[in-house]
Structure 1
Amino acid sequence: MSNPSDSTPAVSSNAVANLRLERLARSTKPFMARGSRLQRCEGCRLAVTHCFCAWRPRMTSRSGACLIMHDVEPLKPSNTGWLIADVVTDSFAFTWSRTAVEEKLLALLGDPQWQPYLVFPAEYAAPGRGVEEVMPEEGRRPLFVLLDATWTEARKMFRKSPYLDHLPVLSLTPEAHSRYRLRRSTRSEHLCTAEVAALCLDLAGDDRAASALDAYLDVFSERYLDAKHNRPADTDSSAHRQLEPFLPNRR
């Protein structure tokens, strides 16, 4: 297979990367993630030896993504919201707060070009609020609102965000268990944020973007674990071959 150049990467300027910079500027002490002594690429957060900036797809989709992130999520190297913002051109990211809400977030949710769906299990929503299909009104585009946090934190965010109470709750029924291997979970049916976003894109008919995001997540996970275990990156792996058709130089 052809191998994208692994030359000096362009630093990602997506919505989550920008939110990370804002969060770092507010920090009074450094955030110490696991493996924090590792030298990481500023563009993809992987070890510089396993940088995959050259494997970054950029898709055109009708749908948008709005990530409402728990405070430390943008700082975690294993965060997958970053991948969504890399793939989906119209992506937005905000920090969640129990006591305040950003005016820019409220403006986005009220923008008539978008039809927001809050993605969460319908069992936690009031009766009649849950939906299983993405059917935006004519002239409006789907905007998937994703609570990016641990499961415990996400439930708290769902309960304590009254400005989201008017949104329909899109409930997903995944056909397979999560493939995400970078954080521990006792519930295999709990998907990571990027897996959830890919399912949403597929429901909205953005199937190419959904496939690209799935493939991108698999390469990210593979390279992350290869670096962790001191294995060289295998650019001829199945995950890399699945991602290659979505790279800019292949379109």
Structure 2
Amino acid sequence: MSPPSQSHTVRPRCPRCGRPVELCLCHLLPNLTPRTEILVIQHPDERRHALNTARLLVAGLSNAHLLIAEQLPPDWVERIADRGWRTELLFPGPQVPLLTAAGQGDRPRRLVLLDGTWRKARKLLYLNPLLQQLSQVALPEGLTSRYRLRKAPATGALSTIEAGTMALQMIEPETDFADLLRPFDALIDGQIRAMGEDIYTRNYRRNEL
């Protein structure tokens, strides 16, 4: 008699940071409350990505939201279209103006980020005409990613958590948002340890030189 087949074991995950419970990063997450609301729209294909930095960004902010969808649900269409908010889309492009600090007395501010590969991010933009109508803003050129396990598709390409942290720092320069990157750095360090120093050096470290 053949032994019973074993079903695939699903590793339990932390509901806050989304990491496997034994690799939870919540102890490194800050609890910051910027004046700016952050909305990250994540392509569904990115949900189970091992390096899900969008979830870490949102988890470190008390007024941030992670929306996993290709198309905006009706309630978010209504919220984003509300003219009582100054809602901007952080997305680079030709002649897109730089992000600026918040002015005193402005409407409450919301910044929308798209999480996915460039192709998937462009698809999110294409499928949601409302996003195309938003004021588009960009980060400065020449920024360097700390994402040592990814070969950037273009110069200045940042992970979602890096882009969100930099954006908040520019909008609210009086606040230090550096703690948002603590779990990100720990995540990268853990991935490097898991793969081994030899493999990391052979495949990635030469890109830092």
TM above 0.5, one fold? yes
Residue equivalent to 2:73: 102
Of residues 143, 150, 156 in structure 1, which corresponds to 2:110? 143
* Structure 2 residue 160 is the aligned partner of structure 1 residue 193: yes
**Aligned equivalents of 1:176 and 1:131: distance in 2?**
13
Kindly provide the amino acid, as one letter, of the partner of residue 59 in structure 1.
L
Of residues 30, 41, 44 in structure 2, which corresponds to 1:71? 44
> How far apart are residue 203 of structure 1 and its match?
1.2
Q: Is the 1:85–1:91 Cα contact (8 Å) retained in structure 2? A: yes
**Aligned equivalents of 1:117 and 1:179: distance in 2?**
25
Instruction: Assess, with a 3 A threshold, how the Cα gap between structure 1 residues 182 and 37 changes in structure 2: closer, same or farther.
Output: farther
**Aligned equivalents of 1:46 and 1:227: distance in 2?**
15
**Aligned equivalents of 1:71 and 1:47: distance in 2?**
19
Report SS of the residue matched to 1:75: coil
**Aligned equivalents of 2:37 and 2:10: distance in 1?**
33
The CA deviation string for residues 64-110 of structure 1, in whole angstroms up to 9 with x for no partner, is 1111111121222311110111111111222333xx43112112213
Instruction: Assess, with a 3 A threshold, how the Cα gap between structure 1 residues 104 and 120 changes in structure 2: closer, same or farther.
Output: same
Query: TM-score, normalised on structure 2?
Result: 0.75
> Structure 1 vs Structure 2: percent identity of aligned residues?
24
Kindly provide the amino acid, as one letter, of the partner of residue 67 in structure 2.
F
Of residues 136, 139, 143 in structure 2, which corresponds to 1:172? 139
**Aligned equivalents of 1:223 and 1:111: distance in 2?**
41
Larger Rg: 2
Instruction: Assess, with a 3 A threshold, how the Cα gap between structure 1 residues 48 and 106 changes in structure 2: closer, same or farther.
Output: closer
Of residues 32, 35, 39 in structure 2, which corresponds to 1:62? 35
Report SS of the residue matched to 2:62: coil
Report SS of the residue matched to 1:122: coil
- Give the aligned CA root-mean-square deviation in angstroms: 2.9
**Aligned equivalents of 2:30 and 2:19: distance in 1?**
16
- Point out where structure 1 has 5 or more consecutive residues left out of the alignment: 1-35, 231-251
> How far apart are residue 214 of structure 1 and its match?
2.5
In the alignment of these two chains, the number of paired residues is 189
Instruction: Assess, with a 3 A threshold, how the Cα gap between structure 1 residues 63 and 209 changes in structure 2: closer, same or farther.
Output: farther
Instruction: Assess, with a 3 A threshold, how the Cα gap between structure 1 residues 186 and 204 changes in structure 2: closer, same or farther.
Output: closer
Instruction: Assess, with a 3 A threshold, how the Cα gap between structure 1 residues 169 and 134 changes in structure 2: closer, same or farther.
Output: farther
Instruction: Assess, with a 3 A threshold, how the Cα gap between structure 1 residues 112 and 88 changes in structure 2: closer, same or farther.
Output: farther
> How far apart are residue 40 of structure 1 and its match?
6.0
Residue pairs, 1:79-118, within 5 angstroms: 79-97=52-70, 100-111=71-82, 114-118=85-89
- Point out where structure 2 has 5 or more consecutive residues left out of the alignment: 1-7, 198-209
